[in-house]
Structure formats: structure tokens, C-alpha cells
Chains A and B, each alone.
Chain A
């Protein structure tokens, strides 16, 4: 029962470097999401994908890009990392219209 798998779990970047966070789910869910979690800010939606081939911006999309590669995989890319992107990133998935989100274990990113 893998559920939602994210990689890497930890990453340290220098300002201006790029990286991609990978996410895969094996529950045949239609919808996938990327959130960031910062102290005192709760979980904020970066991007989501309601189905394969579609992506939409959430609350805080600036500085990020996403790709819904297929039904299983949804990646998040930082093209030019900034210290403000230091955060814990969570990928999640859901069956559409059921309300329950399943989360990955999180990826802790530090940008120096």
C-alpha cells in the first residue's frame, strides 16, 4: 500500500538552482495537488490537476511549474529557487468529489 509517494524527502539548494519534486500515486485518483506548509500559514495550494492533461493555479503559484505526466504522476518544478521557497511541500491526491485528500510524506526544501 504505497499510496502517495514523494521524492526527494530532503533537499538543499542554492539560490537560482532548479529542481523537480516528484509525486506518484497508485490509487487511481483523478485529482492531484501540490501544497506548501510554512509555520503559521497552514497548507497553501500551489497547483492542482483535476485530471490527466489539465493543471490549474492555486493560491501561491508564482515561481513554480507543474506537469501532470500521466494519471499517476504529478511533478512540481522550481526553475530558479529563492529563499522564500524554503518550505515543506506536500503532494496529495483524491478521488474527485469525495472530499478526502491522501497526502504524501512531505519534502523538506531549504534554499540558501
Chain B
């Protein structure tokens, strides 16, 4: 059965810390891996990764994919209270019709 596993489930850090969130997957027909940030309401898109070893970067956030070991990491440097959210990892299968989500990592950044 296809699945996506995220770790840790939750994390509490102080402002300025650097965090690494993990996502491992077992999806038969992999097309892409996506990261989303969810605050109070709808998830918002962060990154889409399709190729191994190529880092995607947006400000203090970056992500990389390892298709051989079947995992991805999301790094956040110099965390701020506004980074507090649930971070979701999803894997898109090859047909483009199914996205499998992990349970998310809840990040709390303390001032």
C-alpha cells in the first residue's frame, strides 16, 4: 500500500533555530513530491520536487529529494514565529490523479 511518513510529528523550537523536517515515501508510481504549509485553514504550496539532489530554495526554506532512498527534507533556517504551522508532505503518483499525504509535522516557534 502506498504511504507517506513524516517525522517528527511535532517540534517546538525557539526563534532563530534551524529545523529539518523529514518525509519518507513508498509510492509505486512516483511522479513528484510536494511540500505544503498549513496554518489555520487551507494548505498552501511551498515546493514541488521531481529530481534527486536538486535543492529548491525560497527565502529561509529549502528542500531536497533523494529518489534512491525515497525521502525528502524540508529545512527552515532562522525560524520565526510566523513559521509556526503544520507542514505537509505529499507524493503525486504517475497518473497525476492521486496525491498521497503524510500526517504532517506540527512546528511551533517560541519567541
Contacts and interface: CB of A to CB of B under 8 A. Distances in A.
- Of A40, A43, A58, A103, most buried by chain B (CB within 10 Å of CB) is A43
B98 A101 contact: no
Contacts of A45: 98-100
Interface size class of chain B, counting residues whose CB lies under 8 Å from the partner chain: 20 to 34
B32 interface: yes
A4 B41 CA distance: 13
Nearest to B6: A42
A4 B42 CA distance: 10
Contacts of A35: 101
Contacts of B36: 101
A1 interface: no
Contacts of A96: 96
B97 interface: yes
- A: contact size bracket: 20 to 34
Interface string B39-71: 001111100101000000000000000000000
Contact of A43 (B41, B45, B101): B101
26 contacts: A31-B97, A33-B99, A42-B88, A42-B102, A42-B103, A43-B43, A43-B88, A43-B101, A45-B98, A48-B97, A48-B98, A50-B96, A56-B97, A58-B98, A90-B42, A97-B31, A99-B32, A99-B92, A100-B45, A101-B34, A101-B45, A101-B99, A103-B44, A104-B42, A105-B42, A106-B41
Given A4-B42, A44-B101, A101-B99, 5 more contacts: A41-B103, A58-B98, A97-B96, A99-B48, A101-B43
